[in-house]
Protein backbone atom coordinates (compact mmCIF):
# COMPACT_ATOMS: atom_id res chain seq x y z
CA UNK A 1 0.00 0.00 0.00
CA UNK A 2 2.75 2.45 0.90
CA UNK A 3 3.95 2.69 -2.72
CA UNK A 4 0.53 4.05 -3.74
CA UNK A 5 0.53 6.85 -1.17
CA UNK A 6 1.77 10.33 -2.03
CA UNK A 7 2.08 13.35 0.23
CA UNK A 8 0.95 16.86 -0.65
CA UNK A 9 2.29 19.68 1.54
CA UNK A 10 0.04 22.18 3.29
CA UNK A 11 1.62 25.59 3.75
CA UNK A 12 0.88 28.43 6.15
CA UNK A 13 -0.01 31.56 4.19
CA UNK A 14 1.18 33.65 7.12
CA UNK A 15 4.79 32.50 7.45
CA UNK A 16 5.28 30.22 4.40
CA UNK A 17 6.14 27.15 6.45
CA UNK A 18 4.98 23.61 5.78
CA UNK A 19 2.46 22.80 8.52
CA UNK A 20 1.42 19.31 7.46
CA UNK A 21 0.89 16.84 4.63
CA UNK A 22 -2.18 15.24 3.12
CA UNK A 23 -1.88 11.53 2.33
CA UNK A 24 -3.31 10.87 -1.13
CA UNK A 25 -3.91 7.33 -2.38
CA UNK A 26 -3.57 6.33 -6.04
CA UNK A 27 -6.57 4.06 -6.46
CA UNK A 28 -6.66 1.30 -9.06
CA UNK A 29 -9.63 1.06 -11.42
CA UNK A 30 -12.64 -0.62 -9.77
CA UNK A 31 -10.82 -0.88 -6.46
CA UNK A 32 -11.92 0.79 -3.23
CA UNK A 33 -10.09 3.40 -1.23
CA UNK A 34 -8.50 1.95 1.91
CA UNK A 35 -9.76 3.08 5.28
CA UNK A 36 -8.16 6.00 7.08
CA UNK A 37 -6.92 3.52 9.68
CA UNK A 38 -5.08 1.50 7.02
CA UNK A 39 -3.46 4.62 5.53
CA UNK A 40 -2.24 5.85 8.91
CA UNK A 41 -0.96 2.41 9.89
CA UNK A 42 0.92 2.01 6.60
CA UNK A 43 2.66 5.38 6.91
CA UNK A 44 3.64 5.19 10.56
CA UNK A 45 4.75 1.55 10.42
CA UNK A 46 7.05 2.19 7.47
CA UNK A 47 8.42 5.64 8.31
CA UNK A 48 9.36 7.69 11.33
CA UNK A 49 6.84 10.33 10.32
CA UNK A 50 6.60 13.26 12.76
CA UNK A 51 4.64 15.95 10.91
CA UNK A 52 0.88 16.56 11.03
CA UNK A 53 -0.89 14.15 8.69
CA UNK A 54 -4.21 14.81 6.94
CA UNK A 55 -6.10 11.64 5.98
CA UNK A 56 -9.41 11.22 4.16
CA UNK A 57 -12.12 9.19 5.82
CA UNK A 58 -14.00 6.90 3.45
CA UNK A 59 -17.83 6.98 3.47
CA UNK A 60 -17.72 3.61 5.22
CA UNK A 61 -15.37 5.00 7.88
CA UNK A 62 -17.77 7.84 8.61
CA UNK A 63 -20.78 5.60 9.24
CA UNK A 64 -19.01 2.68 10.92
CA UNK A 65 -20.21 2.74 14.56
CA UNK A 66 -16.87 1.30 15.71
CA UNK A 67 -14.60 3.48 13.60
CA UNK A 68 -13.72 6.15 16.16
CA UNK A 69 -12.98 3.65 18.92
CA UNK A 70 -10.91 1.41 16.65
CA UNK A 71 -9.03 4.35 15.12
CA UNK A 72 -8.07 5.76 18.51
CA UNK A 73 -6.96 2.31 19.63
CA UNK A 74 -4.72 2.04 16.55
CA UNK A 75 -3.15 5.44 17.26
CA UNK A 76 -2.39 4.35 20.81
CA UNK A 77 -0.90 1.02 19.73
CA UNK A 78 1.40 2.78 17.24
CA UNK A 79 2.23 5.52 19.77
CA UNK A 80 1.01 8.23 17.38
CA UNK A 81 0.28 11.64 18.87
CA UNK A 82 -3.38 12.44 18.29
CA UNK A 83 -2.62 16.12 17.80
CA UNK A 84 -0.68 15.18 14.65
CA UNK A 85 -3.70 13.59 12.94
CA UNK A 86 -6.40 15.41 10.97
CA UNK A 87 -9.26 13.34 9.58
CA UNK A 88 -11.08 14.78 6.57
CA UNK A 89 -14.79 14.10 6.09
CA UNK A 90 -16.24 14.77 2.66
CA UNK A 91 -19.50 16.60 2.01
CA UNK A 92 -20.65 13.72 -0.18
CA UNK A 93 -20.97 11.56 2.95
CA UNK A 94 -24.56 10.35 3.23
CA UNK A 95 -26.50 12.95 5.30
CA UNK A 96 -28.99 10.25 6.31
CA UNK A 97 -26.37 9.03 8.79
CA UNK A 98 -25.61 12.47 10.19
CA UNK A 99 -26.17 11.46 13.83
CA UNK A 100 -23.81 8.49 13.55
CA UNK A 101 -21.22 10.63 11.77
CA UNK A 102 -21.51 13.28 14.49
CA UNK A 103 -20.99 10.64 17.17
CA UNK A 104 -17.85 9.32 15.47
CA UNK A 105 -16.37 12.76 14.87
CA UNK A 106 -17.33 13.99 18.32
CA UNK A 107 -15.47 11.14 20.02
CA UNK A 108 -12.40 11.60 17.83
CA UNK A 109 -12.34 15.35 18.42
CA UNK A 110 -12.81 14.96 22.17
CA UNK A 111 -9.69 12.76 22.23
CA UNK A 112 -7.48 15.25 20.40
CA UNK A 113 -7.88 14.30 16.72
CA UNK A 114 -8.61 17.30 14.49
CA UNK A 115 -11.52 17.15 12.04
CA UNK A 116 -11.60 18.85 8.62
CA UNK A 117 -14.61 19.36 6.35
CA UNK A 118 -13.30 18.64 2.85
CA UNK A 119 -14.44 20.08 -0.51
CA UNK A 120 -16.48 22.84 1.11
CA UNK A 121 -18.97 24.30 -1.36
CA UNK A 122 -19.45 21.31 -3.65
CA UNK A 123 -22.78 20.05 -2.26
CA UNK A 124 -26.12 21.62 -1.42
CA UNK A 125 -25.68 20.43 2.17
CA UNK A 126 -22.57 22.58 2.69
CA UNK A 127 -23.82 24.93 5.39
CA UNK A 128 -25.85 22.21 7.08
CA UNK A 129 -22.75 20.02 7.42
CA UNK A 130 -20.75 22.95 8.77
CA UNK A 131 -23.47 23.63 11.32
CA UNK A 132 -24.05 20.01 12.34
CA UNK A 133 -20.57 18.48 12.38
CA UNK A 134 -17.86 19.14 14.99
CA UNK A 135 -15.07 20.44 12.76
CA UNK A 136 -11.84 22.37 13.34
CA UNK A 137 -10.82 23.03 9.74
CA UNK A 138 -12.68 23.88 6.53
CA UNK A 139 -11.13 23.07 3.14
CA UNK A 140 -12.50 25.24 0.33
CA UNK A 141 -12.95 23.24 -2.86
CA UNK A 142 -10.52 23.99 -5.68
CA UNK A 143 -13.38 24.86 -8.05
CA UNK A 144 -13.89 28.21 -6.31
CA UNK A 145 -10.20 28.70 -5.59
CA UNK A 146 -9.11 28.27 -9.21
CA UNK A 147 -11.90 30.47 -10.60
CA UNK A 148 -11.12 33.30 -8.18
CA UNK A 149 -8.77 35.36 -10.42
CA UNK A 150 -11.35 35.57 -13.24
CA UNK A 151 -14.66 35.41 -11.38
CA UNK A 152 -15.94 38.02 -8.95
CA UNK A 153 -18.65 35.58 -7.88
CA UNK A 154 -16.07 32.89 -7.03
CA UNK A 155 -14.02 35.42 -5.04
CA UNK A 156 -17.13 36.48 -3.12
CA UNK A 157 -18.06 32.88 -2.33
CA UNK A 158 -14.52 32.17 -1.17
CA UNK A 159 -14.46 35.24 1.07
CA UNK A 160 -17.86 34.28 2.49
CA UNK A 161 -16.63 30.75 3.24
CA UNK A 162 -13.54 32.10 4.99
CA UNK A 163 -15.53 34.57 7.07
CA UNK A 164 -18.16 32.02 8.16
CA UNK A 165 -15.50 29.45 9.01
CA UNK A 166 -13.49 31.94 11.05
CA UNK A 167 -16.64 33.08 12.87
CA UNK A 168 -17.17 29.44 13.87
CA UNK A 169 -13.59 29.14 15.11
CA UNK A 170 -12.33 27.04 12.19
CA UNK A 171 -9.08 27.37 10.28
CA UNK A 172 -9.41 27.56 6.49
CA UNK A 173 -7.43 25.66 3.85
CA UNK A 174 -7.66 26.66 0.17
CA UNK A 175 -7.19 23.70 -2.19
CA UNK A 176 -5.91 23.72 -5.76
CA UNK A 177 -3.57 26.73 -5.69
CA UNK A 178 -1.64 26.53 -8.97
CA UNK A 179 -0.56 30.09 -9.81
CA UNK A 180 0.59 33.25 -8.06
CA UNK A 181 -2.66 34.94 -9.18
CA UNK A 182 -4.70 32.31 -7.36
CA UNK A 183 -2.41 32.53 -4.35
CA UNK A 184 -2.94 36.31 -4.19
CA UNK A 185 -6.73 35.87 -4.25
CA UNK A 186 -6.61 33.23 -1.54
CA UNK A 187 -4.42 35.39 0.67
CA UNK A 188 -6.70 38.39 0.14
CA UNK A 189 -9.72 36.28 1.13
CA UNK A 190 -8.02 35.50 4.44
CA UNK A 191 -7.40 31.76 4.14
CA UNK A 192 -4.94 30.37 6.67
CA UNK A 193 -3.32 27.52 4.75
CA UNK A 194 -2.70 26.73 1.08
CA UNK A 195 -2.46 23.47 -0.84
CA UNK A 196 -1.66 22.83 -4.51
CA UNK A 197 0.87 22.64 -7.33
CA UNK A 198 2.47 25.98 -6.49
CA UNK A 199 3.83 24.51 -3.26
CA UNK A 200 5.54 21.63 -5.01
CA UNK A 201 8.91 20.42 -3.79
CA UNK A 202 9.86 19.59 -7.38
CA UNK A 203 11.98 22.25 -9.03
CA UNK A 204 11.57 20.96 -12.58
CA UNK A 205 8.14 19.86 -13.77
CA UNK A 206 5.45 21.07 -11.35
CA UNK A 207 3.99 18.30 -9.21
CA UNK A 208 1.78 18.52 -6.12
CA UNK A 209 3.45 15.55 -4.50
CA UNK A 210 6.53 14.97 -2.40
CA UNK A 211 7.99 11.63 -1.44
CA UNK A 212 8.43 10.30 2.06
CA UNK A 213 12.18 10.49 1.52
CA UNK A 214 11.93 14.25 0.88
CA UNK A 215 9.83 14.72 3.98
CA UNK A 216 12.20 12.77 6.17
CA UNK A 217 15.15 14.64 4.67
CA UNK A 218 13.96 17.76 6.44
CA UNK A 219 11.34 19.56 4.35
CA UNK A 220 9.08 19.83 7.37
CA UNK A 221 9.15 23.39 8.74
CA UNK A 222 11.41 24.60 5.91
CA UNK A 223 10.59 28.03 4.42
CA UNK A 224 8.93 27.87 1.01
CA UNK A 225 11.71 29.82 -0.67
CA UNK A 226 13.99 26.85 -0.04
CA UNK A 227 12.11 24.67 -2.51
CA UNK A 228 9.54 26.92 -4.19
CA UNK A 229 8.50 25.68 -7.61
CA UNK A 230 9.28 28.23 -10.36
pLDDT greater at residue 223 or residue 174: 174
SS3 48: coil
Crossing angle of helices 98-110 and 67-77, in 10° steps, is: 20
pLDDT, one tens digit per residue, over 151-186 is 999 999 999 999 999 999 999 999 999 999 999 999
Predicted confidence at residue 229, as pLDDT, reads: 31
Predicted confidence at residue 153, as pLDDT, reads: 93
CATH topology assigned to domain 2-226: TIM Barrel (3.20.20)
**Residue 210 pLDDT exceeds 90:** no
Q: Write phi, then psi, for 227 (nearest 5 degrees).
A: -145, 25
- CA–CA dist 22, 9 (Å, integer): 7
Instruction: Say what the pTM is.
Output: 0.86
pLDDT greater at residue 190 or residue 212: 190
pLDDT, one tens digit per residue, over 105-164 is 999 999 999 999 998 877 655 788 888 899 999 999 998 999 999 999 999 999 999 999
Q: Are 105 and 88 in contact (CB under 8 A)?
A: no
What's the pLDDT band for 201 if we cut at 50, 70, 90?
A: low
Amino acid sequence: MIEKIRLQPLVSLKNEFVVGYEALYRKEVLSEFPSATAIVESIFQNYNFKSRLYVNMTPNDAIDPNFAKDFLSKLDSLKISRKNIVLEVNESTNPEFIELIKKNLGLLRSRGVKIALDDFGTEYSTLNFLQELPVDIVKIDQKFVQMAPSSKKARSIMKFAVQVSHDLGCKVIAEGIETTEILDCVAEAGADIGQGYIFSAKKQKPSPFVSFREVLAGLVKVPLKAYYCV
